[in-house]
Amino acid sequence: MKRAPKGRGELRDLPPWRRTRQPAFRGTSFVARRLLLGAAQTVAVVLLVFALTEALPGDAAVALAGDQPDPARIAAIREAMDLDRPAYERLADWATGLLHGDFGTSLASGRPVTQYIADGFGPTLVLAALTLALLVPLGFGLGVLAARHEGRLVDRLVSSVTLAVYAVPEFALGVLLVTVLALKLAWLPPTAVGYGTDLLGHPAALVLPVLVLLSRPVCSLSRLVRAGMVDALASPYAAHAHRYGVPGARVRYAHALPNALAPAVQQLARTVDWLLCGVIVVEALFVIPGLGTVLLNAVAERDVPVVQGLAVVFGVLTVVLNLGADLVAHKLTPRAGVVA
Amino acid sequence: MSRDPVAEIRDLRVEIDGRAIVDGVDLRVLPGKVTALVGASGSGKTTTGLALLGEYPPGARVTGGIRRTGEGPVGYVPQHPAAVLNPARRVGALLHDIARPQVRHLPRAERREAARQLVLHALADAQLPDGEPLLRRHPHQLSGGQQQRVVLAQALLLGARVIVADEPTTGQDALTKSRIVEQLEQVAARGIAVVLLSHDLDVVRALADEVLVMRAGRVVESGPVERLWTAPRHEWTRRLLDEQRAAPRDGASVDAGQPVLEVRDLTAVHDRGTVVLRAPHLTLHRGECLAVVGRSGSGKTTLARCLAGLHRDHDGEILLDGTPLPRSLRHRDRSRLAAVQYVFQDARAAFDEHRPVLHQVARTAVRLRGTGEREATDEALATLHRLGLAADLAHRRPGELSGGELQRAALARALLARPRVLICDEVTSGLDTVTRRGILDVLAGLAGEGDGLSLVLITHDLDTARLADRIAVLDAGELVEQGPAQRILTEPQHPFTVSLMRTTERLETGTRR
Amino acid sequence: MYDERFPGLRRRGFLAATSGAAALALVGCAGGTDDKADSASGTPKRGGRLRAAFAGGGASETLDPHLANLFADVARAKALFDKLADYGADLSAQPRLAEKWESNKTLDRWQVTLRQATFHDGKPVTAKDVLYSYRRIADPKQAFRAKASLEPVDLDASRATGERSIEFVLKRPTAEFPNVLAAFGAYIVPENATEFDDKPIGSGPFRFVSFAPGRSAVFRRNDDYWDGAPLLDEIEFVVANEESARVNALLGGQVEYAHELNPTTARAHESGGQIEIVRLRNSAMQAFCMKTDRAPFDDKRVREAFFLIADRQELVDGALSGAGEVGNDLFGKGYEYYAADLPQREQDLDKARALLKQAGAEKLKVTLDTSAVAAGFTEAAGIFRDQAAKAGVTIDVKMGSKDSYWSDILDNGTLCCYRSGAMPIEAHVSQRLLTDSTTNATKWQHKDFDALYQQAQSTRDKTERAAVYERMQRRLYAEGGFLIWGFADWIIGTGRTVRGVETKAPANTLDWARFDKVWLA
Amino acid sequence: MTTLPGRQRRFVLGLAVVAVPLVLALLGPLFVGDPGPRATSFTLGGDHWLGTDFVGRDVWQQVLLGGRTVVVTALAATALAYLVAVPVALISALTRLRWLEELLMRPLDVLLAVPSLLLILLVASVLSPGAAGLALLVALVNVPDAARIVRAAAGEAAARPAVEALRMQGETWWRIAVGYVGRSALRTLAADAGIRLTGVLYLVSTAAFLGVGVTPDAADWAVMVDRNRTGLLVQPWAVVVPALLIVALTMGTNLLFDAALEKKGRRP
């Protein structure tokens, strides 16, 4: 490898992570601030979701009445559901309950919201965990691969394919994969119908959903890793490690990759948002009774307590994962004042 | 000691896009000797030095040969050691990777400990005796000197027979410089060949055994350092070595009346309330040139920034012609903004890379003096010309100008404000000797010009400070001494000033032998 | 059809209208099981497990039969429980748990005799169970769906006259009282039963095994079933809200029965041989609903003009993808009492324009409310907009929320999309076309029409009654508020081994979603 | 390492790929003839060379008509997102007032925690927005992320001495913010814009899948993909053609941005 330091590196000897003018953060106060922000985010999410759900036309009673909107019956349902009380009172009650760990009960069925969440959590968790478990090596692997061959065929191939797949919405990809892999070739089961929560018992049924969930995050992640790796591999410190006889693989993975990691890890946390969107589509497409299904049903039924409970779960999840990602990113780029 | 070279370059020619950046260079690197490559920036020093490592710029066509006879690999200490230290990894990471092959013959269980010992040993050799805690730190947690020593330790750990040191002393104050010189001496004393790439003649003279003077990719002269210094043969060498310094100013144009700028009880803090500077009293008279001297981190830049209104967090008063200046330049009106101008250390970073230099220079007159666009451009051209920058260069973008040229443009930009006070923050550091002298000459000519322009030179370099009428010395945020330049330079009183003076002298006279 | 949105978003096929207006219909005629899909080739075979995929209600689902709201709920309830009567293919009431019924002369007292049947726990089905069930449904504190249907019954006055006989006292003469017994959700549960999700006890053809709301319900054959033990060993209901998921599961062999498919899916697979497609004709009435109490539709000439604007075949082809029949502005094609003799209305733009001109409604502008709440709604709206434009009427299509659509259109707007599942014509009239009807979406309020209805209900003789119904329908045909342009097929897909699926059973009828006569070859 | 021909090739390729959908989208509506009578839905052949769609309209005509909304909505949403994000980012990058920065950036952080699809879904059901509303909504969802990215790039530029030098020259805030900081962030912005456009197209089409923002029988490629999906096995063209056009649009845009940026970036 012939690379003199007068290449791209030297002009930019301030590495990208040094750019912010925030002071390098002090550990604890950073975490505290992040947690505070996280709490505020969660509260804001819940309020926003509550307000929006309340603003939706119709309420649980109307939704339940469906195409039989007998006004007397709607009024009776409304009364039975306590919906005749003002919205803020219901919110206050619910919030008070929440402080005691009580998520309230569903309007539609009277069952505790926690049961809804518990029931839906398993399948979604399996999907998300599997997706993440594959996403990380796959995203990083492809990114590193493309970066190693920057500008060459492999790179072009990886870059074009990831770009193309990135542009395809989940539902379209899902339909395509099911048609080809499950229906035409019959290699995999087309849905997870009837497997209920026991998804792990039927690994074949998980292949397609996970594939669809993976598609877009893998693309964005690998593109990000590629960009980071291209920079890192061209950096003076990578050249230096190389110069001193550190083997190529070790330079790539032990020295260059950590630098490409920070933005990627934060992207990974953002992926949660995508996963959620994707999960909704994928659960519907493959009949997996997870949180996404619960959420959409609850919205349709105007089952406000369930929607709020889920908003809390999603909010907390998003906040915790982002916090984790920021901490990891900070660990990787100690100098970058990660904006709290 | 053997006189066989450990590495040799013969008739090296490196071409990029058909243009030779190094041509016909011969170089013999002897063990235990310091070979210096001297020349202005762009003379091909770094390319030659890296050729020893077998590295060339991308897209280069190389002819000629490099022969390494010695067993060991070649080490490299770049100008900015931070650039080769991985920001995301602890200092120990690369060191351990370097040590690993050397312990491979040991049983697995012993490898880790053996590697650790090797690393610590190398750190100790690089004058980092207490290496253990250092290994767990990230590069940014080290001082510049520590970073440099860590990089040196990497080379020593590698068992390098040759170490190429690229501009190791650039931008350093005298005390640091002398420590680096000492360090490289020790390296050479271990029988390692040192190739020093530098434009710092004091250091070269103090350190080198053999000197090659380069210009435009060619070696114009080479020989033992004593011979070269006493009897330079080539015209360029003579120019390079020209010892003539800007003579201390006679102070003729200094107006002893009311100070144009006065600092009273200045205390500057940084974001978390740490006091970084205390300056009880400091004055600047009309037409006077004041040098503020100190090591890096001594608070001299903060002082300059306070004066310029770029650092708001300070108490105390700064008076311009007896009236207090607003702390932030945001609150300074046009005339007061124009009155105190500031020239940045890094000229390249201080220009907008997207617009032609001329335009940026002319804007000062437009914005601060309300001059018309045309006149401003004319004036800018004239000023640039006066400072030695040709019109065709002025029309280019900053990326196409050299550091020295940009620094001239930066001076012109400030001068177009017709300032009363011009603050120059380390404007010559990072420039090679010839360029630096050019800038210093310009500065010397500036003081007292127009309506009695006063200069504040922020510098770590006593050579530059010699230009001044008065010198103020800062150490660790305290103003420790101030007085006429002559007195400070000849009879320093504060112990810190004394040590600064001594070290500088020692370097200049080359007391190594 | 095209409303495969996300599960909860689209209103998953609510069983519409009171007694089951949803839209499907597999009617098995008269409890019979003779007309099998795809020929009931071969001798029925016992055994096997059938998995049936329905759109469901998610985690809020329950097995309480009185809460049944969705197709999936009804299918499950039907497997576990029985009603006293149920609808045949022509929507006439067929006896089930009731062996027979008789009325007094004035048609306000009905004697119902139960057949010998037992609940899954071995206890016999008695008059007490029936009265308990009906009283539970009519509980004023609750809002069970069948409450409105039971409204004619005076439950306080009604009483058990024997172990298996009940006398129902009615508030007014009701010739179609058996329809009440067949009402949507009027299932018979054991006396004092309140909890149904844990281990529900019914008298139906299958016994409870397990239930996970929103996922699956597994039931096992009830060997003691009074109508003969089912042929299947086990039935599993699974929930898949996406139509494509149901089709895929069927194609992939993960289920053997998929309920509610798109016409295009049907077309794609009808000749493929991979799966069998069952079309249940005349299942879902498709209409535009004009509010007759407000401008511009308070003028019957405008209503008639709109009848004439519609190109019904184009609507069926476009909005239903051809899977249906054209309508004649009357509800209940093929049902008992349907006025089949009225001439089929055709598009006549000239006449429509003339009528509008007479009514002074040229350059008419109307807003048409629609929503993705039901298959074909938005498509129909778009198509009708284009048709109306040709008659000089500007229609502005307004999309409403899926979740509150039915309630929104009940009193608001002037023109909207409408559909209804199968129900007796009598029920259609009583729920939608009387002055005091609860869901009178056309605001059809005419005392003389109400009187006709009362007359029909007081008429003992069936032929005479039919004549009264015809008079009512002629009136509606001429100037009613329902522009009924078509009847959609209900489409079901089954695996190739599935036999015994009834093909003539509009949704909500007895033989629709009935699994005790189904078997696996 | 100079691969200029390759880069040029990619530039041309990107241009070609993006030109097809773009030309169709912008000029297509001009070439649509009379809609003609409706046929049965999902048929192939006959007078309709791409068949008929889910309500029996000619697919080719729908393709011609359907690009404009997609392209305009996506472009408008992307532009809108930046219209908000860039000023916010510039102000917060340049201000010395900590509270102002917090005030501007924190609410965005909060917004970032709301799952975007959930937000679109709920807001859309409440307001049932038209195409313009959808663009606004999609833009809103994109603002926090865009602002963060632009803020980071602008922050870097704002920390450079050049900004102080401009201040010393008495330049106005506008000139510093737009002329220098904004300009320096332009590259990052352009790179981000390529990706963001893809994301926006994705959101717009997924919103269509959810039935948000566009009338369900609208002539719109995204809507076509969704609504004709049921007929995929009978009449694939009604799905495949618009889907390919969308993919071509996003891929082409990205190729174009990539190639253009690379060219620029290589200049010393």
List the domains of chain C with CATH numbers: 82-182 (3.90.76.10), 284-489 (3.10.105.10)
User: What pLDDT, in 10s, does the model give residues D144-184?
Assistant: 888 888 887 787 778 778 888 888 888 888 888 888 888 87
Contact C331, C484 (CB under 8 A): yes
- CA angle at B497 for the pair B493 and B501, rounded to the nearest 5°: 110
- Tell me the two tokens of residue A195: 């497997």
Contact B245, B70 (CB under 8 A): no
Integer angstrom CA distances of residue C302 from B405, C130, C358, C474, C481 = 87, 49, 9, 18, 10
Does residue B236 belong to any structural domain of this protein? yes
Q: What is the mean pLDDT of residues C383-404?
A: 86
| In the block, residue with structure tokens 């004035």 | C106
Q: What is the mean pLDDT of residues B384-406?
A: 84
User: What pLDDT, in 10s, does the model give residues C343-353?
Assistant: 999 999 999 99
Does residue B235 belong to any structural domain of this protein? yes
- Report how far Cα B504 is from the mean position of its chain's Cα atoms: 15
**B51: nearest Cα among B191, B164, B192:** B164
Question: Beta strand pairing status for C165-169 and B74-77?
Answer: unpaired
- Helix/strand/coil (H, E, C) string of B200-230? CHHHHHHHCCEEEEEECCEEEEEEEHHHHHH
Question: Beta strand pairing status for C234-239 and C216-221?
Answer: antiparallel
Instruction: Report chain A residues whose CB lies below 8 A from the CB of B82.
Output: 13
Among the partner-chain residues C216, C240, C241, the one whose CB lies closest to the CB of A196 is: C216
CATH of the domain at B18: 3.40.50.300
Q: What is the mean pLDDT of residues B267-288?
A: 82
Q: Do A281 and C241 touch (CB under 8 A)?
A: no
Integer angstrom CA distances of residue C300 from C166, C344, C444, C481 = 47, 19, 12, 9
| CA–CA distance, C147 with C157 (Å, rounded to integer) | 17
Contact B25, B11 (CB under 8 A): yes
Contact between chain B and chain A (3 or more Cβ pairs less than 8 Å apart) = yes
**C75: nearest Cα among C54, C48, C57:** C54
Confidence of residue A6 (pLDDT cuts 50, 70, 90): very low
Q: B271 versus C133: which is more confidently predicted?
A: C133
β-sheet bridge partners, residue B342:
B423
Confidence of residue A277 (pLDDT cuts 50, 70, 90): low
Q: Among residues of chain C, what percentage have pLDDT more than 90?
A: 51
Kindly identify which residue of chain D lies nearest to residue C316, measuring between CA atoms: D40
Contact C110, C103 (CB under 8 A): yes
Write out the residue range of the structural domain in which residue B427 sits. Answer: 261-350+419-509
How is residue C335 annotated by DSSP? S
| CA–CA distance, A313 with C210 (Å, rounded to integer) | 29
| CA–CA distance, A312 with A46 (Å, rounded to integer) | 6
Note whether D135 contacts A: Cβ–Cβ < 8 A: no
Kindly identify which residue of chain B lies nearest to residue D95, measuring between CA atoms: B330
| CA–CA distance, B260 with B238 (Å, rounded to integer) | 41
Mean pLDDT of chain C: 85
Residues 6+ apart with CB under 8 A from B452: B253, B255, B260, B286, B287, B420
C353-375: burial string, b at 16+ Cβ within 10 Å, e else? bebbeebebeebebebbbbbbbb
Q: Do C407 and A280 touch (CB under 8 A)?
A: no
Kindly identify which residue of chain C lies nearest to residue D227, measuring between CA atoms: C2
Note whether D156 contacts A: Cβ–Cβ < 8 A: yes
Q: Do D209 and C317 touch (CB under 8 A)?
A: no
pLDDT at C355 > cutoff 80: yes
Which pLDDT does position C425 carry in this prediction? 92
Which pLDDT does position C142 carry in this prediction? 79
Interface chains of chain A (3 or more CB pairs under 8 Å): B, C, D
How far C337 CA lies from chain D's nearest CA (Å)? Answer: 32
- CA angle at B25 for the pair B23 and B28, rounded to the nearest 5°: 165
Note whether A24 contacts D: Cβ–Cβ < 8 A: no
Which pLDDT does position B464 carry in this prediction? 80
Contact C19, C419 (CB under 8 A): no
Residues B204 and B277 in one domain: no
Q: C206 versus D178: which is more confidently predicted?
A: C206
User: What pLDDT, in 10s, does the model give residues D209-245?
Assistant: 666 666 666 777 877 877 777 777 777 888 888 888 8
User: Which stretches within C87-232 are classed as H helix?
Assistant: 127-138, 177-181
Contact A4, B57 (CB under 8 A): yes
**Is the C-alpha dihedral spanning A102, A103, A107, A108 positive or negative?**
negative
Q: Do D40 and C322 touch (CB under 8 A)?
A: yes
Q: Which amino acid is at B444?
A: A
Note whether A162 contacts D: Cβ–Cβ < 8 A: no
Residues B56 and B23 in one domain: yes
Contact C274, C266 (CB under 8 A): no
Interface chains of chain B (3 or more CB pairs under 8 Å): A, D
Q: Do B59 and D1 touch (CB under 8 A)?
A: yes
How far A20 CA lies from chain D's nearest CA (Å)? Answer: 6
- Tell me the two tokens of residue D98: 């900590």
Q: Do D230 and C265 touch (CB under 8 A)?
A: yes
Task: Give the best-scoring range by mean pLDDT among A257-261, B246-250, C330-334, D98-102.
Answer: C330-334
Which pLDDT does position B512 carry in this prediction? 43
- Tell me the two tokens of residue C156: 């306080």
| In the block, residue with structure tokens 């089949």 | C340
Question: Beta strand pairing status for B60-68 and C93-95?
Answer: unpaired
Residues B270 and B234 in one domain: no
Among the partner-chain residues B56, B85, B88, the one whose CB lies closest to the CB of A258 is: B88
Written as one string, the DSSP assignment of B33-97 is: -EEEEE--TTSSHHHHHHHHTT---TTEEEEEEEEE-SSS-EEEE-SSHHHHS-TTS-HHHHHHH
Which pLDDT does position D261 carry in this prediction? 67
Chain B contacts in chain A segment 206-235 (CB below 8 A)? 235
Residues 6+ apart with CB under 8 A from D9: none
Q: How many CB atoms lie within 10 A of CB B397?
A: 15
| CA–CA distance, C267 with D42 (Å, rounded to integer) | 10
Note whether A296 contacts C: Cβ–Cβ < 8 A: yes
Count CA atoms within 13 Å of residue C1 on its CB side: 30
Instruction: Report chain C residues whose CB lies below 8 A from the CB of A72.
Output: 438
Integer angstrom CA distances of residue D220 from D41, D135, D166, D204 = 17, 14, 48, 11
Residues B237 and B267 in one domain: no
Q: B317 versus B249: which is more confidently predicted?
A: B317
| CA–CA distance, C324 with C313 (Å, rounded to integer) | 9
User: What pLDDT, in 10s, does the model give residues A297-317?
Assistant: 787 777 778 888 887 887 777
Entry pTM: 0.74
How far A93 CA lies from chain C's nearest CA (Å)? Answer: 22
Among the partner-chain residues A74, A289, A300, the one whose CB lies closest to the CB of C407 is: A74
Chain C contacts in chain D segment 58-87 (CB below 8 A)? none
Q: Do A216 and D202 touch (CB under 8 A)?
A: yes
Mutate to test the interface with C, among A287, A291, A303 (most CBs of C within 10 A): A287
Q: Do D41 and C382 touch (CB under 8 A)?
A: no
Angle between helices D237-265 and D186-209 (to 10 degrees): 170
**Is the C-alpha dihedral spanning A231, A232, A236, A241 positive or negative?**
negative
Tally of domains within chain B: 2
Residues B157 and B273 in one domain: no
pLDDT at B244 > cutoff 50: no
Interface chains of chain C (3 or more CB pairs under 8 Å): A, D
| CA–CA distance, D136 with C398 (Å, rounded to integer) | 20
Confidence of residue C21 (pLDDT cuts 50, 70, 90): very low
| CA–CA distance, A168 with D242 (Å, rounded to integer) | 12
- DSSP run (H or E) holding C238: strand C234-239
Q: What is the mean pLDDT of residues B107-136?
A: 84
Residues 6+ apart with CB under 8 A from C49: C232, C233, C234, C235, C236
Integer angstrom CA distances of residue C259 from B18, C12, C491 = 76, 12, 7
Among the partner-chain residues D165, D179, D180, the one whose CB lies closest to the CB of B344 is: D165
Note whether A184 contacts B: Cβ–Cβ < 8 A: no
Task: Give the best-scoring range by mean pLDDT among B388-402, C76-90, D7-21.
Answer: C76-90
Which pLDDT does position C1 carry in this prediction? 34
CATH number of D41-261: 1.10.3720.10
Q: Among residues of chain B, what percentage have pLDDT more than 90?
A: 2
Q: A279 versus C304: which is more confidently predicted?
A: C304
Q: Where are the domains of chain D?
A: 41-261
How far B423 CA lies from chain D's nearest CA (Å)? Answer: 12
Question: Beta strand pairing status for C365-370 and C324-326?
Answer: unpaired
| In the block, residue with structure tokens 């040993």 | B121
Instruction: Report chain A residues whose CB lies below 8 A from the CB of D121.
Output: 299
Residues 6+ apart with CB under 8 A from D91: D100, D104, D177
| CA–CA distance, B79 with B72 (Å, rounded to integer) | 22
Residues B285 and B215 in one domain: no
| CA–CA distance, A202 with C52 (Å, rounded to integer) | 19
User: What pLDDT, in 10s, does the model give residues A144-199?
Assistant: 888 888 878 888 888 878 877 877 777 778 878 887 888 778 888 887 776 766 77
| CA–CA distance, B300 with B315 (Å, rounded to integer) | 16
Which of B242, B270, B304 terminates a domain? The answer is B242
Instruction: Report chain D residues whose CB lies below 8 A from the CB of B342.
Output: 164-165, 168
| CA–CA distance, C246 with C491 (Å, rounded to integer) | 12
Whether the ω angle into residue A189 lies within 30 degrees of 0, i.e. cis, is no
With H, G, I as helix, E, B as strand and everything else as coil, classify residue C103.
strand
Which pLDDT does position B1 carry in this prediction? 46
pLDDT at A139 > cutoff 80: yes
Integer angstrom CA distances of residue C344 from C312, C330, C350, C476, C484 = 10, 10, 18, 14, 12
Contact between chain B and chain D (3 or more Cβ pairs less than 8 Å apart) = yes
Instruction: Report chain B residues whose CB lies below 8 A from the CB of A23.
Output: 271-272
| CA–CA distance, D178 with B468 (Å, rounded to integer) | 40
Residues B40 and B72 in one domain: yes
Q: Do C407 and A302 touch (CB under 8 A)?
A: no
Note whether A304 contacts B: Cβ–Cβ < 8 A: no
Q: How many CB atoms lie within 10 A of CB C470?
A: 17
- Helix/strand/coil (H, E, C) string of B119-182? HHHHHHHCCCCCHHHHHCCCHHHCCHHHHHHHHHHHHHHHCCCEEEEECCCCCCCHHHHHHHHH
Note whether D152 contacts A: Cβ–Cβ < 8 A: yes
Mean pLDDT of chain B: 82
Q: Do A70 and C148 touch (CB under 8 A)?
A: yes
Which pLDDT does position D216 carry in this prediction? 64
pLDDT at A57 > cutoff 80: no
Contact between chain B and chain C (3 or more Cβ pairs less than 8 Å apart) = no
Mutate to test the interface with B, among D166, D167, D169, D187 (most CBs of B within 10 A): D169
CA dihedral A62, A66, A70, A71 (to 10 degrees): 10
Sheet strands (E) in C371-465: 394-399, 415-420
Kindly report which listed range (A235-244, A328-337, C20-29, C208-217) carries the lowest average pLDDT score: C20-29
Mutate to test the interface with B, among A244, A251, A333 (most CBs of B within 10 A): A244
- Tell me the two tokens of residue B253: 């144009």
Confidence of residue A15 (pLDDT cuts 50, 70, 90): very low
